[in-house]
Chains A and B, each alone.
Chain A
């Protein structure tokens, strides 16, 4: 098992290099660079000055040279500094000679996005699991139809529209929840409990929106998995053994139906760091989605590459974790791996 893990782990290195090379090339295929943003199309900024900027950022060199420069920095785990945000470090904080700490861009955005996505994933599981099970047990009955309809409405509804409606209802008509932002203006003067409550109130709508739109996939997955398992011979055996229905459904069927979910969760690990641009813009949340989107618009190459590299790394780790978890949960897979 350990040998298998090590092998898988070392395979990730060439994969990562390959992914980063392709990402770098594709990024440079898009026309323009940091000096060709709409704001810089300004007669006060001369072409010579822009050419000088290109040289300072090494943008005048061939792409492959730029890539090797980037690789050289990455070899020391240096993600570099942003072009567009006054040379802020892309990944982690730096300290200058006077002791001023500048926080990294990903360092700041990642925890926010992670918190929202983890909360919404928990919410999705908490709702989708029982919904899927009920749906399967009451297949083609009223409850099943209502649930299916409900999750599909959630899936099909435009998230930004629902968000604005809920913001209007809970924030303008009633003063229940804050409309946008991450914290209230008086946040730092609050007690820790008040701070937590304040943050949770701000996150309530974004998490809800993200959960409601992601519900359908998992709920239907559980439903179909359950249906398949319920028709297996060992369920019939369990029933004929005289086990009560509760034990049949939860002790035998659900456990087996949940196995494929492991893969889904493994694959959703990289998704955890990717925020939704639309939701983050509407709710004014400074998360990863907005960071990446702005970086792409500004052609802020170090930031784009930083996020892509971390995303690629997490995808590979997610795959590995899913495979390992699968092996752990399913003896058949485990045996296959060992051979």
Chain B
């Protein structure tokens, strides 16, 4: 037998190896520590340069957003590509590639005038031909995109000259402007002979925005570098590096060790961990902004007794929304009373959420015929106890929300059970065939007010989004009118009325809209705080890292 395999020798060898490894490891432990002693409170004039390292939980599948679709892809591609229009910091539409746009008197034709001398990152001119090409691609039957339907409403797309792009719709289509703000314009000269579904361009894109892709290490990071040919202005920070770290706890450790500059936080990290760790707050600033979605409790209106408005309103009164915001979001959210971002044009300021009022809830239930006749603590009608199932998908915040609702409903005598399901079976077995009583889910607080696909009575087929089967002729009319009206002020009135009816009808109970939370190292300057409605990301091109605070060269390359 080999001599070194003797247990005593082997243990010695191992101890030696481990000790050596530890000592080698200790050798460079001093290099990074000095960073923590820098005082980040000094003021410096904005200069360009530096690298911003952030972390994301998922890797983009590609950078052609119309095909990739996931948020990681949109986040990165948004730094590389431009759309015709964009939302400004107050979430109003403004031109990006377009300098201006006109709407014809019959509201069917939109003419976009491009800014002069637009260029791609490879210095080729960007013209209306590229816009037309992009439209052709997104509406092409062979393109594997789920986002084509809005653009298929265009009956005629033309380019009268290199700087003009004109689209004509069959009927006025008010959400059109929003759809053009979401469509990244792609370069025709690089893609015209490619199959957009498989092209290597998706992993090696050329855009026109502030940054271009320099390097993509699969599964590790994407590195963007400032596009010197950018025609939207020059960003100050030279490199944006996005590391892929799926685990939030690991991201947090990387942030604490000053290996990344920014990450999105969850409410616990924001409200519990940071306040308890003063040494972190010395280097890291916290930001909160309006979130992009709200959580709701939705009724299956095809099932009894949820077809009864008194029952729906009673449940709305019985639920304490502030408790959900405090308990689930640790106070980091707002109640909403319409499906629009509070403080923006579309949100009706006159609407207030249903207050928490169990007495009123009981009275409404009694009016609907529900009382505790047999004295078992659960209200009943015609001998049947009021009992139902709250369905939600595997999402910690939604599960917790469900538990809080369950308790409050019990207080008014309603017996609710919670059932949590994996997403695909939730959707396939319960939502599509409408086999549910009540769901806890989320919708986005959309930037365009059109919510036709969610609330119009024609959108109830399996797989469509009005799965709660809401049907109100007045709302149908308003939603149709809102789609035809391109004048923002007239449109606003339509949607204010729509949200008022929706609140009164209570087909869903608005529960909460959580804030977007992020932590960014104090070396990064120029961030708007408090955040405007569009969030802190509205002016990333103005963010800068003073030279004195930049990371050492080694860790940048």
Name A's B-contacting residues (CB within 8 A): 30-32, 35-53, 56, 81, 84-88, 96, 98, 100, 102-103, 108-109, 126-127, 129-130, 133-134, 164, 167-168, 170-172, 174-186, 189, 201, 204, 246-247, 250-251, 254, 280-286, 290, 299
Contact = CB atoms under 8 A, between A and B. Distances in A.
A130 B7 contact: yes
Given A47-B464, A49-B145, A85-B62, A96 B200 contact: yes
Contacts of A201: 25
Nearest to B257: A172
Contacts of A168: 253
Contact of B250 (A44, A127, A284): A284
A175 B453 contact: no
A109 B370 CA distance: 59
Interface string B94-131: 00000000000000000000000000000000000000
A38 B423 contact: yes
Contacts of B197: 86-87
Nearest to B33: A175
A176 B424 contact: no
B531 to A, nearest CB: 24
Contacts of B473: none
A286 B244 contact: yes
B425 A164 contact: no
A185 B245 contact: no
Interface in B30-60: 30-33, 53, 59
B14 interface: yes
A45 B21 CA distance: 53
Contacts of B393: 38
Contact of A45 (B5, B146, B425, B461): B146
B443 to A, nearest CB: 8
Interface of B: 1, 5-7, 10-11, 14, 21-22, 25-26, 28-33, 53, 59, 61-62, 64, 67-71, 141-142, 144-150, 182, 197-200, 202-204, 217-221, 241, 243-247, 249-250, 253-254, 256-257, 259, 393, 423-425, 427-429, 443-444, 446, 451, 453-454, 461, 463-465, 554-557
Contacts of B454: 43
B147 A44 contact: yes
A186 B554 contact: yes
B28 A182 contact: no
A127 B188 CA distance: 60
Contact of B557 (A85, A181, A189, A251): A189
Given A39-B70, A181-B245, 12 more contacts: A47-B461, A49-B148, A53-B144, A85-B62, A87-B197, A87-B198, A88-B61, A178-B259, A180-B247, A182-B219, A186-B556, A189-B557
B305 to A, nearest CB: 27
8 contacts: A43-B444, A44-B182, A45-B69, A100-B204, A175-B30, A186-B554, A246-B6, A250-B5
Contacts of A170: 25
